[in-house]
Structure 1
Amino acid sequence: MTTSELKSFLDEKVIQYNTLDFIESDPVQIPHLFSQKEDIEIAGFLSATIAWGNRKMIIKNSHKMMDLMGNSPYDFVMSHSEYDLERMESFVHRTYNGQDFTSFIRGLQHIYKNHDGLEAVFSKQQEPNSMQKSISEFKKVFFEIPHQYRTQKHISDPMNGSAAKRINMMLRWFCRQDNKGVDLGIWKSISPSILSCPLDVHSGNVARKLGMLTRKQNDGKALTELDTKLRELDPNDPAKYDFALFGLGVFEGFI
């Protein structure tokens, strides 16, 4: 496939999958439950954090997280009591447990009380074609407060070679503004042009089949390789191709 043919093919798949129908089977539905900016941010951040494994279980457990916070995530983060946090102890999603959840609540409170919120933190350390340094800096700020060491593994660090799939997915949700109704576009301080495609087993395998990715591991180096290709196709909105790559892999078995 020539670059022109590849672009036409993937652009068609973006149009096919970037629709409201996509929401009902994707964790992006969780932040869509809310209208206040801070509620959307916290709901999106927490649901993206546990977005690995079975998608139905991800969505089920994300709803459970919202229920445990009284479906008012920002209010809960800012005004919870220690007794409230005790209710979190029973939560578990794979290796993410109740202790991790309570650490995340405290980390979020720290972000909103002392650093002007999630958008303000992610807006720092932006680079011309990458949010990866920003993600790394966010992790440092998030874990400035006392926490269990094991909890750190639930936020990836691109500076350690990670593709940071879940955080890049969250950034797509919050920063893309294409008016299709899937991505929320609530963050105006970060250009969609510097976003990365969330790289996972599905998008990675499809990208390899299409000749866009040669590296076998789905790591930070692979993300850079894929980003370079996607920016050639659309330098203003490269992350939109997540819909095409993911849709081809999950819904069409294109591997």
Structure 2
Amino acid sequence: MKDAKSLSLALESIYLSFNKKSLISPDPLQFLLDYPDVEDREIVGMVASSLAYGRVSQILKSVSSVLEPMGNSPRRFLEKGNVKLWRGLFEGFKHRFSDQVDLVDLLSGMKDVIELHGSLDRAMAIALSGDKGTIRGAQGFVEMILKGGSRDRNTLLPRPEGGSACKRLMLYFRWMVRKDQVDPGGWTCLSPEDLLIPLDTHMHRISLAFGFTGRKSGDMRTVEEITGFFRTVRPDDPIRYDFALTRFGIHPDMKIEDLIEISDR
């Protein structure tokens, strides 16, 4: 591994070179950019992040199939809709392990939370109250949404209390809290310094290769260890480099081997 100063400069160079809007596609993040109103964007972000598992082509297809019936304002779609309507609209929906019930429960849960608290942002702020920290706050946020569903579990909503990396939830927080050329932001309940790395197979492989972690298990302990490493570089924005680094492995023209070569220069 490079010394701390050299590594910091290398990471910042990678960020400046690859944290670009032109490199977003193919990524479910691309859907959020079509919604300038944060009240719509937070709903789109929850849908897109919740479905962000499996092959990227199938993820994009599934997200599109959910967002198209919502029209220009997903917020209005939730406010005016109901479970009976959504069951008809999304009859036969399937995304890997997630089915129509999971999707309708997610929509119903978001509708209830928004009616009660005004927005998902405000609900997360309430879940964070009492200095609970990001992980416990995230658990409370998930529980709020689950209450509006028909069952107490949902494949679209990971529970942080189980110790899993909760990649999709951490990805959602990144999109909604950070604001730069890539992440659209809009939320005020968290600051970038509070965020945890969305640990997917690409970031895990990169982190092992560069010594950010030695842990082979992709769980929340590994998330905290990798985030802790990045916090030594950018305590104000520890997941600043997530998008740029994970382009190597996600974008079809960029391989992790290319990242290793760039970092060795």
Taking a change above 3 Å as real, the CA distance of residues 129 and 232 of structure 1, as seen in their structure-2 partners, is farther
The secondary structure found in structure 1 opposite 2:57 is helix
Taking a change above 3 Å as real, the CA distance of residues 6 and 35 of structure 1, as seen in their structure-2 partners, is same
Q: Distance in 1 between matches of 2:131 and 2:249?
A: 29
1:90·1:98 contact (CA, 8 Å) conserved in 2? yes
- Aligned letter for 1:112? I
How much has 1:91 moved relative to structure 2? Answer: 1.5
Is residue 162 of structure 2 the alignment partner of residue 167 of structure 1? no
- Aligned letter for 1:52? Y
Aligned pair count reads: 252
Q: Which moved more, 1:212-221 or 1:16-25?
A: 16-25
The secondary structure found in structure 1 opposite 2:52 is coil
Partner of 2:192: 192
Taking a change above 3 Å as real, the CA distance of residues 128 and 206 of structure 1, as seen in their structure-2 partners, is farther
2:177·2:185 contact (CA, 8 Å) conserved in 1? yes
1:127·1:133 contact (CA, 8 Å) conserved in 2? no
- Aligned letter for 1:40? R
Taking a change above 3 Å as real, the CA distance of residues 57 and 143 of structure 1, as seen in their structure-2 partners, is same
Taking a change above 3 Å as real, the CA distance of residues 94 and 87 of structure 1, as seen in their structure-2 partners, is same
1:1-255 alignment runs, 5 A limit: 1-81=2-82, 82-124=84-126, 125=128, 130-151=133-154, 153-178=155-180, 180=181, 182-250=182-250, 251-254=254-257
Deviations, residues 213-248 of structure 1 (Å, cap 9, x unaligned): 111011000011101101001001111111233123
The secondary structure found in structure 1 opposite 2:89 is helix
Moved over 3 A (4+): 126-130
Q: Which ranges in structure 1 are unaligned for 5 or more consecutive residues? A: none
- Aligned letter for 1:8? L
1:88·1:99 contact (CA, 8 Å) conserved in 2? no
- Aligned letter for 2:115? K
Deviations, residues 61-113 of structure 1 (Å, cap 9, x unaligned): 11111113234311111111423431212221111111111111110111100
Deviations, residues 131-177 of structure 1 (Å, cap 9, x unaligned): 211111111111123422442x3212222201111111111111112
Q: Which ranges in structure 2 are unaligned for 5 or more consecutive residues? A: 261-265
How much has 1:202 moved relative to structure 2? Answer: 0.4
Pairwise CA RMSD: 1.9
1:129·1:195 contact (CA, 8 Å) conserved in 2? no
Q: Distance in 2 between matches of 1:3 and 1:198?
A: 23
How much has 1:121 moved relative to structure 2? Answer: 1.7
**Scaled by the length of structure 2, what TM-score is found?**
0.89
2:50·2:157 contact (CA, 8 Å) conserved in 1? yes
Q: Distance in 2 between matches of 1:248 and 1:8?
A: 18
- Aligned letter for 2:57? K
1:175·1:187 contact (CA, 8 Å) conserved in 2? yes
Q: Distance in 2 between matches of 1:73 and 1:128?
A: 31
The secondary structure found in structure 1 opposite 2:236 is coil
Q: Distance in 2 between matches of 1:129 and 1:224?
A: 16
1:195·1:239 contact (CA, 8 Å) conserved in 2? yes
- Aligned letter for 2:139? S
Q: Taking every aligned residue pair, what percent have the same amino acid on both sides?
A: 27
